[in-house]
Amino acid sequence: MTRILALGDVVGPLGTDFVCKNLLTLKAQTKADLVIVNGENCTRAYNLDTQSASALFAAGADVITGGNHTMQYDQVHGMLRTNDCLLRPHNYPVAAPGKGWCIVPLNNGKRVLVINLSGQAMIEPSADNPYSCCQKILYDRKGEYDYAVCDFHAESTGEKIAFFRYFDGQIAVMFGTHTHVQTADERLLYKGSACITDLGMCGAHDSVIGSDVTAAVTRYRTATRVLNADRTEPSGDMQLCGALFEISDETGYCTAVTRICYKKG
């Protein structure tokens, strides 16, 4: 059995710190062979920097996936170019730093192809067609991996589910990120894959998708932004949201997917 633990968007320095302090415990509890963390919102500005990425790797993340905020801070561009396990959506322009796939050898002898893609509906920046991009990766890397995993970073739930259904049987593990709200639709699909529309986020539960409640309500109620308040991090009941996927090493099919919402204590 191969177990893959995937955690949703890590939000802010407090969320990053909470993941770093608790990831090894969660990894041990789930007996995960591979840990994938979406790290695109780690900083106070809700993007990624090298310090946050390095901290997540040191804490036990094997792969860090990204999304539409990953490359907003150019300090991380060099790390995207040199660290194969720090990903951004592969269907972004070719000129963008880094890439969106890597192959990770596991201690059990299996090789896992991890793919990071962006949706196209209601999300910036614009991305190329994720279907053709994904099919090219699968074709080009054929024979180099045993299982494929995909983080599909997208706004539209329908776009995510359609993608999952199309790649059922080709990608063993598929999950959505970006919306920060964990969905209750984890499922085993008909051809051996498993999916969940959104993993949720790692950060403060008492928040508006990781943002300060008062600042978020003011923004939506009055159509104004108070920048300092927007960057006030909510604290309190921190949580790690994600899912655990179990793959049969005999059949290559995903046999179980379990939602996770970990709170210390």
Catalytic residue positions, numbered: 69
Residues 18 and 42: beta-carbon distance below 8 Å:
no
- Cα dihedral 29, 30, 36, 42 sign: negative
Write out the DSSP string of 139-192. HHTTTS-SEEEEEEE-S-HHHHHHHHHHTTTT-SEEEEESS-S--S--EE-TTS
In one letter, which amino acid is 149?
V
Nearest-5° Cα angle at 38, 35 to 43: 125
Three-state secondary structure along 187-205?
EECCCCCEEECCCCEEEEC
Residues 241 and 202: beta-carbon distance below 8 Å:
yes
Residues 150 and 171: beta-carbon distance below 8 Å:
yes
In one letter, which amino acid is 184?
A
Q: Roughly what angle, to the nearest 10 degrees, separates helices 130-140 and 157-166?
A: 30
Neighbours of 259 (CB within 10 A): 16
Nearest CA to 56 out of 28, 80, 36 is that of 36
Backbone angles phi, psi at 202, to 5 degrees: -110, 105
